[in-house]
Chain A
Amino acid sequence: MEEIIISTLQRTLVAATPLLLATTGEIITERSGILNLGIEGVMALGAVVAFIVTITTGQPWLGVLAAIAAGMAISIIHAFASITLQANQVVSGLALTMLGLGLSGMLGKPYVGKPLSIKMNDIVIPYLSDIPYVGKVLFIGGPFFYLAIILALASWFLLERTRLGIQIRSTGENPRATETQGVNVFLIRYLSVLIGGGFSALAGAHLSISYSKSWIEGMTAGRGWIAIALTIFALWNPSRAIWAAFLFGGIFVAQYLMQPLGISPNFLSMLPYIATLLILLLISLKDPKKLNAPAMLAEPYKRGER
């Protein structure tokens, strides 16, 4: 029993990792006022690029870097369309998803079903990992898990405690006033979209080289879209995103736990998506005003117009 609980919690954290990474990235992007619905595509591209580079070079961290670079590169298209050309951000994000999923399918075709023999060692934190229960769950884990937590906390610090963070947030709230303060709104938004793209690609890299150690088309399975919902659930706050991601990681794991009970596996597969809707419903019922989305989210900004 004890082992089941520990392994369940461990798997929860592993399942939460890509959600946390992608959500953190999307929070930064949305805080600057840009909605990026292309996460699913960027994640898929990150997954395939990380996989290809890792299996070719044998260096997982090289794969991770390549994935981040690819994620940023493809996100530039969304940034250009929605920031410079003031295009509709919903449609541009959908185009990014199609493009990302398409490119990942094309690049990854020769690699479908190939197993990855690379092993990324778990990081064991000395002393803390000896604590009963908690130690094994929280202080022995894959590098991606720690990376995700550190990046989420760092992003919280960036947004709430640094000058750049203030500039990102005020760009999302009132770009005109921000511009009069001498801040380059376009630059801040480009930067935020690129950071978000890098985070999403990193989430994809986790899926392909650590979580499943293989590549198949559609392996992101809607996680990118769930991350967009988690962004709302986390009320655009990276530290809340940690708990949001854990909760959803738990739901992903619950699917496997409940399988022996004889419940239809298809019904269990629905759970994360139903939970997403329920969570959004719940925060809306509680206090819709608390939602507090960035005021200029998805509104194109036109320079020199009043």
Chain B
Amino acid sequence: MIKITTTDRYNITPFRSLMTNVFSLAAGLFVISIIFLIAGVNPLFAISEIFSGSFGSAYGFKETLTKAIPLILIGAGLTLAFRAKFWNIGAEGQLLMGAIFSTWTGLTFGDALPSYIIVPMIFMAGFIGGAFWGIIPAILKIKYSINEVISTLMLNYICAEFLTMLIVGPWKGKARFGFPGTDNLPESAILGVIPGSRIHYATLILAIVCAIVLCVVIYKTRFGYETRVVGENPDAGKYAGIDFLKTSLIIMAISGGLAGFAGVGEIAGIHHYLGYPASVSSGYGFTAIIVAWLAKLNPLYAIVSGIFFAGILVGGDAIQISLGLPAATVEIVNGTLLFFLIMGDYFLNNKISIRLSN
């Protein structure tokens, strides 16, 4: 008879953690291959196309880095929120609110101010916008025990409709000939890019700095310690005198604020004006959830996992064109990989032994 026993594993080394992720991703890709096969697409070709499209060429890699910018920013912020078991699913709305605030700032003050003043200002405005949209669910959760998954999601929808309301109404640009969208930001508010690419390097540097700083905050400060206590053992936190409201507000201000930064990057670095929500963000807020999870909730690792998932987004675009697959394919890939990542955690936390016994 085969006997399967599971015991808790206490010595989780970083190496084991990494290998679990690698195996989970591999298993996920295997299942995705089967889905491709059923869809009548050669899976080896499709998967190699995804990775060669995103990492295999100079153009692809530049695009990957461009899309990695919002994913790193949001993913790093989400690691902090998820550590406190604050399930912020609203990064998409926080990004859009950041975009709205920064667009307003850029359009209002941009003409009169030089770059070195207006650019920090629009980033500041974006952070405030995202943080504002992020602390609403924090207040609702701590003060009124409203589930944050629901509230952050509802705020996504509300923000997207609000943005659309602005761009078809009062903010509609004079130079758009009646099409929805604001006018372009003034030249001084537009971020520079690395020549021959769309990489707005100021935001990229900001993203990496934020990830590093956040890593220090989580592991080296009292606030980081409190964040972990709030998530892992809220009862102990209450006895230790942790102010839950204050901690949650700061966590969500940071998490939302970083998503707001991402919104600034998309507007000032890529589009140069505020358009429809779906064009401002192609689901970065949701993809970043997987980025945070793959990073094992460590903001530093979010840099690597952000680039990895940016690659999947770019590769997904590539196979849409070359294989005629629908845009939804990327969501299948993302959903499947996320499933395998969380299922892999079981094999990281438990030791499973299979024995043959009589």
Contacts and interface: CB of A to CB of B under 8 A. Distances in A.
A299 to B, nearest CB: 12
B342 A95 contact: yes
A99 B335 CA distance: 5
A222 B165 contact: no
A80 B289 CA distance: 21
B158 A274 contact: yes
A217 B150 CA distance: 22
A288 interface: yes
A106 B144 contact: no
B75 to A, nearest CB: 14
B146 A96 contact: no
Interface string A67-108: 000000000010011000111101110111111111111100
A interface secondary structure, majority: helix
Contacts, number: 134
Nearest to B326: A109
B150 A228 contact: yes
A266 B328 contact: no
Contacts of B339: 77, 81, 92, 95-96, 99
Nearest to A277: B154
What is the predominant secondary structure among interface residues of chain B facing chain A? Answer: helix
A251 to B, nearest CB: 13
B85 to A, nearest CB: 9
A284 interface: yes
Contacts of A225: 150, 153-154
A91 B144 contact: no
A260 B157 CA distance: 23
Interface in B143-161: 144-147, 149-151, 153-155, 157-158, 161
B329 to A, nearest CB: 6
A212 interface: no
A98 B161 contact: no
A102 B140 contact: no
A96 B335 contact: yes
A37 interface: yes
Contacts of B151: 277, 280
A280 B56 CA distance: 49
Interface residues of A, number: 47
A281 interface: yes
B289 A94 contact: yes
Contacts of A129: none
Contact of A99 (B89, B140, B332): B332
Contacts of A276: 150, 154
Contact of A273 (B154, B329, B334): B154
Given A281-B140, A288-B145, A102 B346 contact: no
A225 B335 CA distance: 17
A274 B162 CA distance: 12
B165 A280 contact: no
Nearest to A276: B154
A264 interface: yes
Given A90-B149, A285-B144, 6 more contacts: A81-B342, A95-B335, A98-B286, A104-B328, A273-B157, A284-B146
Interface of A: 37, 41, 77, 80-81, 85-88, 90-92, 94-106, 109, 217, 222, 225, 228-229, 232, 264, 266-267, 269-270, 273-274, 276-277, 280-281, 284-285, 288, 291
10 contacts: A85-B345, A91-B289, A92-B339, A102-B328, A102-B332, A102-B335, A266-B165, A273-B157, A277-B140, A280-B150
The 10 A-B pairs of least Cβ separation, nearest first, read: A105-B328, A102-B331, A99-B335, A98-B335, A102-B332, A95-B338, A266-B165, A85-B346, A284-B144, A87-B342
